[in-house]
Chain A
């Protein structure tokens, strides 16, 4: 991973943290090489340059194939509310879902594990993959297994790739917000990140904190059936703060949010306070941010609240033509910017 050359630039944890250093690394390594610029989300084309949750490519008959891939490492591999197996399936199913592809066709699953790793442990991870696939209505159809030498790897790595085929018109990018669109979050934010950090730091909140890791494709389907969803994102690494900033800057629009309206579980809020971390800055693994046509906002919100995964869904703000590319938070006291968390000040949690 790191270069021992004294002069060359080496990777740091912040290159994987989901914020601007990661984006500039991806730009220089990949976008500059592979991107072409014929993106047109409304025609079902979303390419590499969009840096969306996945890619969409038109095939015959006004349909598009949607693909996404993700490698999962998490410390600890088993955490309150889930494990790396559940995370690996939900992560990819959710990236497809927020592209508008709520019925995944198939999933690949590749494992990289270390010599000496217990087969029982692997079996339990795969059982979790199986259960989560069942929740999401998808099957693993191909995969790969690699065993590395002892000491070459810190923990298991699972890569999953998901594929779906959808009508080209139903592809939803993260960049198509319009002025006036309502911003809805599907439930309490920060659960996954705070649960993992508390577990790692052994702060004694564990009994009450659980990751929200779950497939959200059914929830997304419910929202899309209830009204016109203009943009979507699953706020994983970098949390709601990063997701909202990306949506604002890619849509060339400003966002105004009402902080007291953003649902945060009470125990998560307390633990976050102790850890000195904003729940808006940490990962969620079972939540969605929706941009919704203002006229349909109530209908979508009601439909979400009727869904078991959306009971705490809330309307938290709207898109505006002011302060383009930024997110302004009304704290209940005054106003401030909500920025992306920079760098990886924290242990890796997803």
Chain B
């Protein structure tokens, strides 16, 4: 909310001062620096406030696998579409509604009469089930820790019998490791997502920092938060140092939210899963544990996805490279042409956290 507290992090004069310091640090470093964020909300803030147009030459902000909708695999969407086509009410976040699977999206299914509902929260999906006791309601659950914890919370709170969950929840830390190991990614530091860290705590990154010898700064989402995060990362680079820093202390602690974490790990277990276009990543998908099998839509229903032929254009889609930080949205031939938010080829063009959608809307980093 744009309260007085957040407004103080939207002070253009203070931003100019930080940018001056970034200029100085870049001059000291004397070579190009690449920083990666792993959060669609960071890209939103950077693009929405036009921050890239303020940055010194040579400092580039890459986009990592920070959009859970974008890395949701097509077969997961196909499962949800199959459930809806079979007459089961599928409730999901608005971001997921238009993501194409191999046989269309939930929006396509809905336009043809399948029962699909857009909800703002897991608890709203539970309410939907309570209000319609004669219908089966499946919550197609997507997102990182910030939404996985609330999904877990509704499952531990005795939901109605006609409610179940189709989990496409993802867990970021293993994906950061995969991206850090990709041969084409050359990243000098990571700007980690402040809101996920409110749940996990920033201590989670200690192991990553020592193993990959790359600095990690946890940052918030107002313009000054982002710029301060960049300043800390450049300081590490200029000193040739490695470390972990919390640049979002007004929200993030080292330990995180232990209640949310306990609930999340009580309900979910990390399993290997395909992140669309990137890789099969060990421990990066969150599946319901055996103790919650009765609420697992994959157990309750015999889901037979109609895995049709994927849109042939999806062969050309660069979503995977973009989410791995090795390509920019405008490197993709489909960007803004065959692939638009209204007729998307890849999920990166659908979600409000998707880099392609964000770049199309705000212009990415042109000299404007």
Contacts and interface: CB of A to CB of B under 8 A. Distances in A.
B3 A201 contact: no
Could you say which of A10, A270, A276, A332 has the most chain B C-beta atoms within 10 Å of its C-beta?
Answer: A332
Interface string A103-114: 000000000000
Contacts of B340: 20, 342
A335 B1 contact: no
B341 interface: yes
Nearest to B12: A332
Contacts of A273: 1-2, 6
A138 interface: no
B330 to A, nearest CB: 13
Contacts of B107: 12
B342 interface: yes
Contact of A336 (B1, B6, B10, B47): B47
A339 B361 contact: yes
Contact of B50 (A2, A12, A276, A335): A335
A313 interface: no
Contacts of B54: 333-334
A270 to B, nearest CB: 5
B111 interface: yes
A10 B113 CA distance: 11
B53 A335 contact: yes
Interface in B47-64: 47-54
Contacts of B50: 329-331, 333-336
Contacts of B10: 332
Contacts of B15: 333
Contacts of A11: 111
Contacts of A336: 47-50, 53, 362-363, 368
Interface in B317-368: 340-342, 352, 360-363, 368
B113 A337 contact: no
Contacts of A10: 111-112
Contacts of A335: 50, 53, 368
B229 interface: no
B368 to A, nearest CB: 5
A12 B12 CA distance: 41
B223 interface: yes
Contacts of A342: 340-342, 361
Given A4-B113, A273-B2, A328-B368, A339 B362 contact: yes
B2 A270 contact: yes
B305 interface: no
Nearest to A334: B50
A339 B52 CA distance: 17
A336 B49 CA distance: 7
A204 to B, nearest CB: 12
B200 interface: no
A21 interface: yes
A82 to B, nearest CB: 25
A6 B113 CA distance: 11
B120 interface: yes
Interface in B101-120: 107, 111-113, 120
Interface string B1-30: 111001000101001000000000000000
B94 interface: yes
A323 interface: yes
Contact of A337 (B49, B98, B112, B362): B362
Contacts of B363: 336-337, 339
Interface in A1-48: 2, 4, 6, 10-12, 14, 19-21
Contacts of B368: 323, 328, 335-337
Contact of B111 (A12, A201, A337, A339): A12
Contact of B112 (A2, A21, A332, A334): A2
Nearest to B112: A10
A7 B275 CA distance: 31
Interface in A296-349: 323, 328-337, 339, 342-343, 345
A144 B316 CA distance: 53
Could you say which of A2, A276, A330, A337 has the most chain B C-beta atoms within 10 Å of its C-beta?
Answer: A337
Given A10-B112, A269-B2, A270-B3, A333 B12 contact: yes
A324 to B, nearest CB: 13
Contact of B51 (A19, A20, A330, A333): A333
A6 B85 CA distance: 12
Interface in A184-213: 201
Interface in A267-295: 269-270, 273-274, 276
A210 to B, nearest CB: 19
A333 B2 contact: no
B47 to A, nearest CB: 6
Contacts of A12: 107, 111
A333 B361 contact: no
A71 B138 CA distance: 36
B98 A333 contact: no
Contacts of A330: 50
A10 B1 CA distance: 38
Interface of A: 2, 4, 6, 10-12, 14, 19-21, 201, 266, 269-270, 273-274, 276, 323, 328-337, 339, 342-343, 345
Given A12-B111, A21-B342, 16 more contacts: A2-B111, A6-B112, A10-B112, A19-B342, A273-B2, A274-B1, A328-B368, A333-B51, A333-B223, A337-B362, A337-B368, A339-B360, A339-B362, A342-B361, A343-B341, A343-B342
Interface of B: 1-3, 6, 10, 12, 15, 47-54, 94, 98, 107, 111-113, 120, 223, 340-342, 352, 360-363, 368
16 contacts: A2-B111, A2-B112, A2-B113, A4-B113, A14-B342, A20-B342, A273-B1, A323-B368, A333-B12, A333-B223, A335-B368, A336-B47, A336-B50, A336-B53, A337-B368, A343-B98
